Amino acid sequence: MSWDWHYAWSVLPPLLRAFVVTLEASLAGFVLAAILGLVWAVSRMAPVRIVAGTVFWIVEFVRSTPLLIQLYFLYYVLPEYGVVLSPLAIGILALGLHYSCYTAEVYRAGIEAVPTGQWEAARALNLTPRAIWLRIVLPQALPPAVPVLGNYLIAIFKETPLLAAITVMEMLQTAKLIGAESFRYLEPLTITGAVFLLVSLLASFAMRRLEVAHVFHR
Amino acid sequence: MIEFLQTHLPPLVAGLRVTLQLTVGGGICALVLAALAGLARRSSRRWLRWPATVYVEVFRGTSAMVQLFWFYFALPFFGVSLPALVTGVLVLGLNSGAYGAEVVRSAIDHVPRGQWEAGRALNLSDQRILLRIVLPQALPMMLPPAGNLVVELMKNTALVSLITLSELTFAAQVQRAATLETVPLFALTLLIYFVLAQVLLAGVRRIEHYVTRHRGSRA
């Protein structure tokens, strides 16, 4: 059996519509990961040992267990506690939570790169901890983290097909359903792969440009 | 508690065995592919460099799950039907191998050029320079990122449950459907994965320690 162009064209529109869902999930998941990651990174440096230690192990745990099980966990457990969310919202939550544990490391590297003298000078000027973080440390720590965060946006994008497992109609799930209806998986799955490849290549190209611009800017 | 473990642990352990098979099988495939593709990308011969580049870009650019579904559902259209376990090992190996190739390439790139030049000045062949001078210096640099890749590969084995292979995640799903004890069951499953990840990382640290054992005396 060989490639059927006519059939390929006919499955393209529904696949592209599903691609919008894929994009929504990636972007929303990324925003959540970017915000939560910063929370983890800052609280890991909390003066209270218990807080810092707990956050460290939470991040380790989430990072070294499969996203798929975490997805199932949220999907089945949240309703038991009366939290009813759409599958897409749960998927975004899981993606954001999982990748926040990666972005936390990115922020941590940025924070640790701020010279100790900056902390000491800020304390010598009697600034409050809040002011030290918001006005001194983070403005220096965040800009170098931005290009690295972009790589995680691409990584999240490539993980969105997992949401198919909790019935989100993203691109892979759509391709599978189309394939099951017509008994032809080749075209929809190949198109899905091609779209992922195209977008990832374009995105990594854009990221490289951003990194170069960043280096020249500094 | 004991009753809970008695009912659930045996099927989960049976699933864990398949997860381990996938991790080890995929890991061996990935290691071979990463070494071959990583070296080929540094080659001066275009017929080696091009296929390696295409392989790395395609398998890093498309999602692991899309690859898994493609190999399982689309490949039969070309007359190739592989069992789920073989598909899993193959796709995990191909996917991690592509990421690993970049680790190999970048470690070799980080060995100073002077090392190659000195080797040539001593009239060593390129092959000897690579094997005796460059790789021994590049290997310690590869290990920390390789450790992360091994954990990523282990985590990706959960995806193979979606093509009906009864590994750990699949076993947990079956048990959940039978008893609806969702929270303790999934917590236990996550814990097993977590311990497995720590064991793998400790293993890579052992290798790291072994590879860099001569370094302390020199530095």
Q: What is the pLDDT of residues A9-28, one digit of tens each?
A: 999 999 999 999 999 999 99
Tell me how close the Cα of B69 comes to any Cα of chain A, in angstroms: 8
Q: Which residue of B has its CA nearest to A69?
A: B169
Q: Answer whether residue A22 is part of any domain.
A: yes
Q: Answer whether residue A94 is part of any domain.
A: yes
Q: What is the extent of the structural domain holding A47?
A: 10-217
Q: Closest CB to B158: pick one of A60, A66, A186.
A: A66
Mean pLDDT for the stretch of residues A48-58: 93
pLDDT at A175 over 90: yes
Q: What is the structure's pLDDT at B218?
A: 47
Q: Closest CB to A68: pick one of B69, B73, B158.
A: B158
Tell me how close the Cα of B44 comes to any Cα of chain A, in angstroms: 24
Give the residue among B208, B189, B218 at the shortest CA–CA distance from B8: B189
Helix spans in A113-185 (H): 116-124, 129-131, 138-159, 171-182
pLDDT band at A4 (very low <50, low <70, confident <90, very high): confident
**Taking CB atoms and an 8 Å limit, are B172 and A69 in contact across chains?**
yes
pLDDT at B86 over 50: yes
pLDDT band at B180 (very low <50, low <70, confident <90, very high): confident
Provide, rounded to the nearest whole percent, the portion of chain A with pLDDT above 70. 97
CATH of the domain at A204: 1.10.3720.10
Q: Is B156 on the interface with A (CB under 8 A)?
A: yes
pLDDT band at B83 (very low <50, low <70, confident <90, very high): very high
Q: Closest CB to A197: pick one of B61, B65, B197.
A: B61
Q: How far is CA A100 from CA A30, A152, A177, in A?
A: 8, 10, 31
| Helices A49-63 and A5-43, axial angle in degrees (round to 10) | 160
Q: Is B186 on the interface with A (CB under 8 A)?
A: yes
Alpha carbon distance A63, A31 (integer Å): 18
User: Chain A contacts of B78, Cβ < 8 Å?
Assistant: 1
Mean pLDDT for the stretch of residues B23-39: 97
The 8 Å CB, 24+ separation contacts for A174-181 are: A174/A14, A174/A15, A174/A17, A174/A18, A175/A11, A175/A15, A175/A18, A175/B69, A176/B69, A176/B73, A178/A11, A178/A14, A178/A15, A179/B73
Domain map of chain B by residue range? 2-218
Mean pLDDT for the stretch of residues A172-182: 92
Tell me: the pLDDT tens digits for B185-206? 999 999 999 999 999 999 999 9
Q: Answer whether residue A149 is part of any domain.
A: yes
> Regarding the domain with residue range B2-218, which homologous superfamily does it belong to in the CATH classification?
MetI-like (1.10.3720.10)
Mutate to test the interface with B, among A189, A190, A202 (most CBs of B within 10 A): A189
**Taking CB atoms and an 8 Å limit, are B186 and A196 in contact across chains?**
no
Domain count, chain A: 1
DSSP state of B124: -
Q: Is B85 on the interface with A (CB under 8 A)?
A: no
Q: Is B171 on the interface with A (CB under 8 A)?
A: no
